[in-house]
Amino acid sequence: MASILWNISVGHFLALGAVLFAIGVVGALLRRNALIVLMSVELMLNAANLTLLAFARQRGDMHGQGLAMMVIALAAAEAAVGLAIVVSVFRSTRHANIDRLTSLKH
Amino acid sequence: MKPNAHAILFWLFSALAVGGSLITITRRNLVSAVMWLVATFMAIAALYAFLFAHFLAVIQVLVYAGAIMVLFVFVVMILNKDEEEPWALRGLIGKSLAIAGLGYLLFRLGGVLWRAPGKIPQKALMEPDFGSTQAMGRLLFSDYLFPFEAISIVLLIAVVGALVLAHPGHPNVDEEPGH
């Protein structure tokens, strides 16, 4: 038990990444505010990055870090477009509640 | 194994990351959610540094805690409105499904931790410049040259797309009468 507490292994980082990803999933599925959903998506991307870097560290391979760099750049692009969509939706409907955005539903 | 500074700092930053993200997804007030998300990203940047990804730790602070969060704060400023009923989880079935999913996740996590390799390799076993800015730059301009150039085009398209979407005179946005 004490060994798990004080001997930090790659598994600790993987478990932390899984916990952060799960929190992001819960936020994206359960919250109704579009902004909180976007924040949860960012959290999930960060958790995936943490996993990539943990494996890069374990294998001593820089390619994991290159992929994580690409993920960060794509996350920035995703946040910009996502927030622009939220602003656009808010302009036309005066709210950002994703449960009430049902105009594409048949 | 004795308590050591490395482990104490790991637990400190991981507690900050998990606590900060939990607070983020439960806040009604959007500004405090954004601020706690900044704290979470800072803790994750510290954990990147633990994994010898020093360059990415700096990039994380610059891009996430700097650029993306400023964008979020600006949108919060436009949207400043609390939700009436923030959570979508209702009924016995939803709650029991959530508890079952959480139990399964904790079970798998325990398995990962239990079977994890006892020790991560020492720095001496890797290339001496692992994770440094120099090594990262060499990687980005050799193996990752095409993705690196492609992502700059993606970012350009994202900027143009965000401007077109958020522009007030967008034709698909119904303007209010008398506007």
* Residue B119, pLDDT score: 61
d(CA B134, CA B127): 12
Nearest CA in chain B to A49: B48
* Token pair recorded at residue A40: 């949860």
d(CA B48, CA B45): 5
Considering CB atoms only, which of A12, A54, A77 is closest to B154?
Answer: A77
A100 touches chain B (CB under 8 A): no
- Three-state DSSP state, B73: helix
* Residue A50, pLDDT score: 95
d(CA B166, CA B179): 17
Closest alpha carbon to A52 in A24, A28, A21, A26: A21
Structural domains of chain B, with CATH: 1-82 (1.20.120.1200)
Residues of A in Cβ contact (< 8 Å) with B17: 16, 20
Best interface-test mutation with A: which of B48, B85, B159 has the largest number of A CBs within 10 A?
A: B48
Is B166 in contact with A88 (Cβ distance < 8 A)?
yes
pTM comes to: 0.85
* Residue B38, pLDDT score: 94
Task: Give, in order, the Cα–Cα distances in Å from B3 to each of A4, A10, B6, B48, B156.
Answer: 11, 18, 9, 21, 48
**In a structure prediction context, what are the per-residue pLDDT tens digits for chain B, which is 179 residues long?**
677 888 899 999 999 999 999 999 998 888 899 999 999 999 999 999 999 899 999 999 999 888 899 999 989 888 766 656 656 666 778 778 878 888 888 888 777 777 766 566 665 567 777 888 898 999 999 999 999 999 999 999 999 999 998 887 755 545 555 44
Closest alpha carbon to B71 in A73, A88, A80, A96: A80
Q: Are A87 and B169 in contact (CB under 8 A)?
A: no
Q: Is the pLDDT of residue A78 over 80?
A: yes
First and final C-alpha spacing in chain A: 55
* Token pair recorded at residue B128: 């001496």
Q: Are A96 and B83 in contact (CB under 8 A)?
A: no
Task: Give, in order, the Cα–Cα distances in Å from B143 to each of A66, A67, A71, A106, B169.
Answer: 9, 11, 16, 47, 43
A60: alpha, beta or left, given left = phi > 0 and alpha = psi -120 to 50? left
The topology under which CATH files domain A2-100 is Helix Hairpins (1.10.287)
The beta strand positions in B18-127, using DSSP E, are: none
Is B173 in contact with A32 (Cβ distance < 8 A)?
no
Considering CB atoms only, which of B63, B83, B105 is closest to A33?
Answer: B83
